Chain A
Amino acid sequence: MNLLSVSNLHVNFHTKERELAALIDVSFTLNRGERIAIVGESGAGKSVLGFSIVNLIGKPGYIESGSIKLENKELTKMNLRQLQEIRGKRIAMIFQDPMMTLNPVITIGDQLVETIRSHTKISYKDARNIAIEKLHHVQIASPERRFNQYPHELSGGMRQRVIIASVLLLNPDIIIADEPTTALDVTIQAEILQLLLAICRDNGVALVLISHDLGVVSKVAERTLVMYAGHIVEEGPTLEIINDPQHPYTQGLLNALPQMTLPGQRLNQIQGSMPSLAERPSGCAFHPRCPYATQKCREQQPRFIYSGVSSVACFLVEDMLNEFAEQDQEAN
């Protein structure tokens, strides 16, 4: 059975004029110990998806319909108390900015101990031992000394390590990491990614990595979901998606990377920009920027179809597959 299954999830934002849809019919599954990535540009809805898994989207956002199941427990129907049992203990989150996540006026040790003690009945001393062990686990030198320090006394990379330690405290099944390395330097980023990868492998923790950096994704995730304007437009094994992207948006995203062009040449840009929630185009949301858009794309919403190794929501791919099928029939 899948560890986490999200099906037909719709998330809306309530405004004075009308309801704005941030996520439209999003479905995916996550197995135990699997590492998946959600990529897309800002405004694609990747963070909203991450937040809605643990039902953390605040007003004016709300889950309109759909289901999120952790094993067989339905998360969307839970009350706050039941959710708090899940958050942290079963599903933990790492946010982008470690300085915003840690409380600046409490020592990191107390923050870690508080996390443990709010979920388990345990003495301060025992909790302290667990916290120090976890700090050691994330390769923080002299954890006893760090335990009594405040967040501002640590560097950015060190803070993100503390966050990872705090996430590990309760041995969760799933870690959702929302752009965990965006605020860090490349050298520190490499270390943090390796650490995250090692931790997931060693403890059999499933990871949902939210990122806009395809390079980062390719290093960590086994499977990748590409999002555009609230839809998942492509899903498949990471290597397949990077080596043979099917959806024009994924192709554009990869081709826009500087390393895809010879030095000094013009980069391949995607025309235009991501539409805002209020200005969602009709039909396939990507059609105004798509070089292959047809009349059909402007009018209808493409279905998500399975094409060989990955699943794609694009009429171009669908038509191509249909053509192949017809040719096959004729040949027979």
Chain B
Amino acid sequence: MATPLIQISGLEKAFSTNESWFSQWRFHQGKLKRHKDSVHALNGVNLTINQGETLCVVGETGCGKSTLARVIMGLTTPSAGEIHYLDQRIDQLNNRQRMFFRRRMQMVFQNPYASLNPRMTVYQTLSEPISFHNPQFSQAQVDEQIDELLESVGISASSSDRYPHEFSGGQRQRISLARALSVEPDFIVADEPLSALDVSVQAQVLNLMMDKQEERNLSYLFITHDLAVVEHFATRVAVMYLGRVCELAPTRTLFSAPKHPYTRALLSAIPRLDSNIAQPIRLIGEVPTPTEKPIGCVFQARCPYANQRCYEQSPAMVLQNDGSSVACHAIEEGRL
């Protein structure tokens, strides 16, 4: 089997909530003790991303999907775990060493209104990464490449001296994509790139992303909460809950036979157009904030099938017959 493009193992990230030294001291049983509070955004994530595939990560607000994207890109450092790009470890590099990988991996952010510099024209936005990563390019070569890029994302090259505010949301997101593509990466992380856009414009951006994937054999890590988009676009889907992947499956398998109780609830909640109204599976409560490292299954508090073992022991990912992997005691034991 070919080496996966990105391999993530045991990734953890905790954000400290009392950073300052003074707020870390507490009285505990009559003694002054130092105590660090933290929110555990990622609790041991294992994932691989193969070349040319689209891995979609879905989950509710606060499940750690954006943190995962930022950690992979090196925008925040992980607390534990390893990230490999092909056969090189990339999670502990300094800025200088990372430069090479910045060229290979790019990111598209959620809000095209905030992620483009309002005081830079489209030309400036695009020329900066191109001339930075290709110092040997002449001015003419840079210009040529920018024109090509803009045409390829469906924006006329003549508008390259305009500012972001002169474009619509969809156009801005296409410029963001052009910026990510400008250094010719192999891998693009897209963090909710469609959620600020209208349905018809979503289709434009999604089509563009698929075209580019075909042209350049790109791999995507696509983070979203819109399951309709996932069904359409993903090769494989990872469902996250409270900083853990609870189900990982090929798209078709996940949508036809969801296994994990959380995935089932999530899929049943999509408002669909067809008229046979299936009752959504109601989840009790809301996503808790993981201030303590969870013992047992992360989904225990909301799971209708939880038993004593779920409270005590954390389930491992188990490969199923149809190619999906699920972390659930109930499925392992055949209760579900």
> Is A35 engaged at the interface, CB distance under 8 Å to the other chain?
no
Interface size, chain A (Cβ < 8 Å) = 41
Chain B residues closer than 8 Å to A239, beta-carbon distance: 275
Chain A residues closer than 8 Å to B287, beta-carbon distance: 185
Residue of B nearest to A211 (CB): B271
> Is A122 engaged at the interface, CB distance under 8 Å to the other chain?
no
B203 x A267 contact (CB < 8 A):
yes
Chain A residues closer than 8 Å to B171, beta-carbon distance: 273
- What mask results when residues 291 to 331 of chain B are scored 1 for a CB within 8 Å of chain A, else 0? 00000000000000000000000000000000000000000
> Is A216 engaged at the interface, CB distance under 8 Å to the other chain?
yes
Interface size, chain B (Cβ < 8 Å) = 41
A267 x B168 contact (CB < 8 A):
no
Consensus secondary structure, chain A interface: helix
Choose from B202, B252, B273 the contact partner of A259 (Cβ within 8 Å).
B273
Chain A residues closer than 8 Å to B206, beta-carbon distance: 258, 267
A185 x B204 contact (CB < 8 A):
no
> Is A219 engaged at the interface, CB distance under 8 Å to the other chain?
yes
Chain B residues closer than 8 Å to A274, beta-carbon distance: 198
Chain A residues closer than 8 Å to B228, beta-carbon distance: 215, 257-259
Q: A41-B199, A157-B286, A263-B251 are in contact. Are A218 and B271 (CB under 8 A)?
A: yes
Chain A residues closer than 8 Å to B271, beta-carbon distance: 189-190, 193, 213, 215-216, 218-219
> Is B227 engaged at the interface, CB distance under 8 Å to the other chain?
yes
Q: Complex formed: what's the CA distance from A259 to B170 in Å?
A: 20
Q: Complex formed: what's the CA distance from A155 to B61 in Å?
A: 11
Residue of A nearest to B265 (CB): A187
Which one, B42-50, B113-121, B136-144, B276-284, is touching chain A?
B276-284
Q: Complex formed: what's the CA distance from A243 to B3 in Å?
A: 46
Minimum CB–CB distance from A270 to chain B (whole Å) comes to 4
Chain B residues closer than 8 Å to A186, beta-carbon distance: 60, 225, 227, 266, 269-270
B198 x A268 contact (CB < 8 A):
no
Q: A263-B251, A264-B232 are in contact. Are A187 and B203 (CB under 8 A)?
A: no
> Is A59 engaged at the interface, CB distance under 8 Å to the other chain?
no
- What mask results when residues 149 to 163 of chain A are scored 1 for a CB within 8 Å of chain B, else 0? 000000111100000
Q: Complex formed: what's the CA distance from A215 to B273 in Å?
A: 5
A269 x B200 contact (CB < 8 A):
yes
Chain A residues closer than 8 Å to B251, beta-carbon distance: 263
Q: Complex formed: what's the CA distance from A269 to B194 in Å?
A: 14
Residue among B168, B198, B231 with the most chain A CB within 10 A? Answer: B198
B201 x A273 contact (CB < 8 A):
yes
Chain B residues closer than 8 Å to A218, beta-carbon distance: 271-273, 275
B199 x A253 contact (CB < 8 A):
yes
Chain A residues closer than 8 Å to B266, beta-carbon distance: 186-187
Not counting A186-B269, A193-B271, A259-B272, a sample of 11 additional A-B residue pairs whose C-beta atoms are within 8 angstroms of each other reads A185-B60, A190-B268, A191-B280, A214-B199, A218-B273, A242-B273, A261-B232, A264-B233, A269-B200, A269-B204, A273-B170
A interface with B by C-beta (< 8 Å)? 41-42, 155-158, 185-191, 193-194, 212-216, 218-219, 239, 242, 252-254, 256-259, 261, 263-264, 266-270, 273-274
3 shortest A-B CB distances, which residue pairs? A215-B271, A258-B232, A269-B203
